[in-house]
Chain A
Amino acid sequence: GENVEQHPSTLSVQEGDSAVIKCTYSDSASNYFPWYKQELGKRPQLIIDIRSNVGEKKDQRIAVTLNKTAKHFSLHITETQPEDSAVYFCAASKTAAGNKLTFGGGTRVLVKP
């Protein structure tokens, strides 16, 4: 089955700096890659996603890039703010029975004011 690895596990940045989280996946048939943000004690919330026919997608301060050849994708957060502090999860799935998401292990991001 699919295996998703996520790095780093923790990331501390100064407010205003950029943060980058990287994920690799194993199943070349995967074609959907969402990113979730989870604040302490809350549910995961979808913040951005990308499909395999797109190389990059941006939404205000966040962007995701996908390299299908290398089987990795990344989340970029620019001009970080204290409210960006949370755990971020990448995930991957493919068009198949269930469209199940396989998640990475998560990255705890701390934005220092």
Chain B
Amino acid sequence: NAGVTQTPKFRVLKTGQSMTLLCAQDMNHEYMYWYRQDPGMGLRLIHYSVGEGTTAKGEVPDGYNVSRLKKQNFLLGLESAAPSQTSVYFCASRDSGWGYTFGSGTRLTVV
């Protein structure tokens, strides 16, 4: 039981490049979330999903897209990376209870 797994753990992108971050959970959770964490600003919600095939916008969705084609996977895409997207990205999942289980994070640098 791995919990929530994020890949990759680190990545450096050039401005304008695209990439996809993968979040996989093996707990059969319905709800999944993508947050970004910047110094002094806590965690801010980018997009979330309440079940397979569903997605919704969070607090800071601009510049990102997501897909939830399979229940266990939640993908976060950056179509054209910008330096403002340099951040640590955390995925989380939740079952019918309340607590989140977080992945280990992806540290992304856009130069």
Contact = CB atoms under 8 A, between A and B. Distances in A.
Interface stretch (A12-20, A60-68, A69-77, A92-100): A92-100
B31 A99 contact: yes
Interface residues of A, number: 25
B48 A100 contact: yes
B10 to A, nearest CB: 11
Interface in B52-83: 56, 58-59
B43 A103 contact: yes
A100 B102 contact: no
A43 B94 contact: no
Contacts of B48: 98, 100
B59 A1 contact: yes
B98 A34 contact: yes
Contacts of A32: 98
A102 B44 CA distance: 7
Nearest to B96: A99
Contacts of B94: 99
A96 B60 CA distance: 19
22 contacts: A4-B42, A43-B105, A44-B43, A44-B90, A44-B102, A46-B99, A49-B99, A89-B42, A97-B56, A98-B48, A98-B50, A98-B56, A99-B31, A99-B94, A100-B33, A100-B58, A101-B43, A101-B45, A101-B100, A102-B59, A103-B42, A105-B40
